[in-house]
Structures are given as structure tokens and as C-alpha cells.
Amino acid sequence: MRTRDEDKVSLVKKMAIKSVVKDGFEGFSMNKLAKACEISVATLYIYYKDKDDLLISIAKEEGDAMGDAMIKNFDPTVSFEEGMRVQWQNRYAYMLENPYSISFFEQLRNSTYQSRFLDNYMQKFKLVIGQFMDSVVKRGEINPMPLEVFWSIAYAPLYALVRFDTEGHSVGGRPFKMTDKMLWQTFDLVIKALKN
């Protein structure tokens, strides 16, 4: 039995993410992936039992990496504004450093893989952020609200700005380049909207 070559595994993951981003799940195949990695299809099946196993495995690993990046230097006991600032810094840095992973997650979100992926998605992250949210609500810094409402106000503006920046244009095709001033101006408005 052949042993697992970690360099090949890393290449397979990287190329699988790029392939899904480029061609979607419908255009993704183990044969195309093997060709892109310049390995045999049989080699892929040494590492993964099938296409679903490969994609779910990558999604879980990437989700854990993203979750870890988002709680880097994050203390769930800090004030709401301070905690959110760290969250925005971490999310923004992760999105800039991992554009393919972000696009891969967007593809996942709009696919049949979503439910299988979300079951265990970022467990450690959810625990830490849950502690933070419980703390700021108990201290009266923000009112309790449904998660979807909170996320839409707290993070959607950041994701929209990053998307505009990545695409190089904003609403109506206007040229767009993100600046720190825009980032923190938006952040201040978000905090103002969420605070009591």
C-alpha cells in the first residue's frame, strides 16, 4: 500500500478549491482534478474514497482554518466594540489572504453540499463567539436579536466591500478600490447600528 504524500495532498486540496471556484461543482470531476495536479486518478482514491469525501474533507479543513483565523487574538470577555473590531480585522485579513477559499465557501453555500458541510462547521469558532455574544447581551451593550439579523448588520457590509474590491467595481460598475478609511468608516456605522 502506498503511503500518503502530504505535498500531493496539499496540491490536491489547492487545485480542487481552484477548480470548484472556476467551474462550480457541476464542472468538477476527479479526472479533471488529477490532470490539473499531474497525478493519476488512482492516486486521488488513495487519499479520498470518492469525490464527495474529497470535497467535504476540504470544506471541513478550510472551515476550521477560517474559524481559527477569525478568533485569532480574540477575547470573548472584551467590550462589544473591541471584540467586533478584532472580528473585522481577522475576517478582512483572512478574506484578502484566501480569496479562493472564500469563493469556495460561496459555492458550497449554494450547493447540495451545504447541509453536510454546515453540520460541523467551525465548532470552536461558534463556541467562542457564542460566549462573546452572551457576555455583551448580559452587559446590555446590545439587545438580543436573531442570529440572522445580527449577521446581516454586523458582517454583510464587510463582505460586500470585499466583494466590490475583489471585483474591482461596485454598484453600477463604478471602479472601486477598498481603503482602510472606508473599512473603518463602515465599521463605525455598523457598531452604531447595533449598540443600544
Residue pLDDT, tens place only, 58-87: 988 888 888 899 999 999 999 999 999 999
| Fold observed for domain 1-47 | Arc Repressor Mutant, subunit A (1.10.10)
Question: Within a 10 A sphere around the Cβ of 104, how many other Cβ atoms?
Answer: 22
Percent of all residues in the chain with a pLDDT value above 70, rounded to a whole number: 94
Give dist(CA 35, CA 21) in Å, integer: 17
Question: Within a 10 A sphere around the Cβ of 174, how many other Cβ atoms?
Answer: 8
Sorting pLDDT into bands at 50, 70 and 90, what band is 1? Answer: very low
Q: Which three cell numbers stand for residue 173?
A: 460598475
Give dist(CA 30, CA 52) in Å, integer: 10
Q: Which three cell numbers stand for residue 180?
A: 482602510
Question: Within a 10 A sphere around the Cβ of 189, how many other Cβ atoms?
Answer: 12
Per-residue pLDDT tens over the stretch 88-126: 999 999 999 999 999 998 888 888 877 777 666 677 888
- For 25-48, what is the mean pLDDT? 93
142, 143, 145, 150 alpha-carbon torsion, rounded to 10°: -20
What predicted TM-score, i.e. pTM, was given to this entire model? 0.86
φ and ψ at residue 5, rounded to 5 degrees: -95, 105
